[in-house]
Amino acid sequence: MTTPGGPEYIDAEIVEAVSSPDFTPTVHAPSAAEVTGYTDSGVPTFDFVRDKIEHRTATADGGQFLAESGQEAAAIDEAMAARDDAAKRKLDEIRKSMGL
pLDDT tens digits, 27-77: 788 888 888 888 888 899 999 999 999 999 999 999 888 888 887 888 888
CA gap 85, 91 in Å, rounded: 10
CA gap 47, 39 in Å, rounded: 12
What pTM was computed for the model? Answer: 0.43
69 and 63 in contact (C-beta within 8 Å)?
no
- CB-based contacts of 29, cutoff 8 Å, min separation 6: none
User: Quick check: helix, strand or coil at residue 2?
Assistant: strand
Range picked from 6-15, 25-34, 78-87 for highest mean pLDDT: 78-87
68 and 74 in contact (C-beta within 8 Å)?
no
Residue 6 pLDDT grade (very low, low, confident, very high; cuts 50, 70, 90) = low
